[in-house]
Structure 1
Amino acid sequence: MTTPRDLLIIAMDAGSGSPVEQGELSLALAGAEVIDLLAAEAVSLDGDHLVPGDHSAQADRLLEQAAAALVREEPYESVTDWLWRRGRGLSVAYQAELEADGQLVRQRRQGISFRAGQLVLADSPARRRAADRWAADEPVLTTLAGAVGVGGKQTEDAQDVADDDVATVLAAVSDALVELASVRQRRAIEDAAFDNIWRGGGG
């Protein structure tokens, strides 16, 4: 299994009380991909820029896609730019992958077709491995999950992560999540103002 897959499983399984927003989860998944690619030496960091390494095959199909998507010409892409570009719709892609692997199944509802059921986690070795990693308070998984509001285990700015490059990625994820929240808040205010103008115009 990979960190992105473990993160998605934990996000679906942790019972945080409210579902994780797809946008937040997608940004965190993109960060998790970078961390796994760093571990595989498929990428390195020069400051906050992603420098691709040898494009060797990755064991996971979506990680292979991530490695292939790295910008391979200077100036290389920053971690932040990667998160926004790669993260677009990424949670949906990972959910589809887990479903294709039989790790997500659709609940059958009486009188409703099987495909219409809600996606739930299957009892699988992958789910148990993710749960073990979560129970062990593994710093990377804990920080990424905490950043998207899962489980109440959020650490202080990834202070428990020893690797500087990994800490840089985690900090970029945190900053991107703050930016996303700010954008959403601004849009909500603008939408509310527009609604007030519309009603005031007697439309």
Structure 2
Amino acid sequence: MTTARDLAIIALDVKPGLPVEQGDLSLALAGAEVLDLIEARALVVDGDRILPNAQAPTGERLLDEASAALRRQEPYESVEDWLWRRGRGLSSAYVDDLERVGLTARARGRHIPLRTGRTELVDSAARSRAEDRWATGEPVLAALASAAGIRDEPAEDAPELSGDAVAAVLAAVGGAVQELRAVRQRRAIEDAAFDNVWRGL
């Protein structure tokens, strides 16, 4: 199992009253994939750049897809650029993958924050593992969940506990999510202003 898959499971397991923005989650999942690929020795992070190593199968379809998508020519890709490129639609891809491998089933009227009414988690070893990491407050998973809006409070000292490369990835995820939220807020303000103009005519 991977941090990315664990994060997707936790996002599906979150309380219905705490919805998760798919864009925020997609960026966090893309960051989680970088961390998983670091652990798999498929890449290293040097400063803000992703330097790929030789490809080797991880056994996880989406993670192997991520590894194959790495830019392999200098000056290589920044972590931030990777998050935006790889993150597009990634939350939906993980929901579909969880269903494909039998970790979710069709929901029956229950509100699912990640994709309303589509799937719900079934009892499985993968779910138990993700929930154990969540319950113990594992720092990297907690930091990614905080960035995605799954938990209200930030994980304490997660970057310091994790090393320079992990800290760089977590910081990039946090920055990208904040940028996306600022764009959403700006659009909401512009839409509200546009509506007010029409009401005044």
TM-score normalised by the chain length of structure 2: 0.91
Q: Where do 1:1-203 residues align within 5 Å? A: 1-15=1-15, 17-108=17-108, 118-152=118-152, 154-156=154-156, 158-200=158-200, 202=201
What SS class does the counterpart of residue 198 from structure 1 fall into? helix
Which sits farther off after the overlay, 156-165 or 4-13? Answer: 156-165
- Counterpart CA distance in 1 for 2:120 and 2:56 is 33
Larger Rg: 1
Instruction: Encode CA deviations 1:4-36: one digit per residue, 9 max, x unaligned.
Output: 110011112132731111000000000000000
Q: Where do 5+ consecutive residues of structure 1 fail to align?
A: 110-115
Considering only aligned residues, what root-mean-square deviation do their CA atoms show, in Å? Answer: 1.7
Instruction: Encode CA deviations 1:143-168: one digit per residue, 9 max, x unaligned.
Output: 11122222345214634433210110
CA contact (8 A) 1:3 1:33 kept: yes
Counterpart residue type for residue 34 of structure 1: V
Aligned length: 195
CA contact (8 A) 2:159 2:166 kept: no
Q: Where do 5+ consecutive residues of structure 2 fail to align?
A: 110-115
What SS class does the counterpart of residue 141 from structure 2 fall into? helix
Instruction: Encode CA deviations 1:79-125: one digit per residue, 9 max, x unaligned.
Output: 0000001000000000000001111111346xxxxxx9541101111
Structure 1 residue 133: Cα displacement = 1.1
Which sits farther off after the overlay, 50-59 or 86-95? Answer: 50-59
Structure 1 residue 192: Cα displacement = 1.3
CA gap of 1:164–1:188, structure 2 versus 1, over 3 A, is: same
Determine what percentage of the aligned residue pairs are the same residue: 60
CA gap of 1:126–1:2, structure 2 versus 1, over 3 A, is: same
Structure 1 residue 196: Cα displacement = 1.9
Counterpart residue type for residue 32 of structure 2: A
TM-score normalised by the chain length of structure 1: 0.90
CA contact (8 A) 1:9 1:121 kept: yes
Q: State the 4+ residue runs in structure 1 displaced beyond 4 angstroms.
A: none
Which sits farther off after the overlay, 84-93 or 148-157? Answer: 148-157
- Counterpart CA distance in 2 for 1:118 and 1:56 is 33
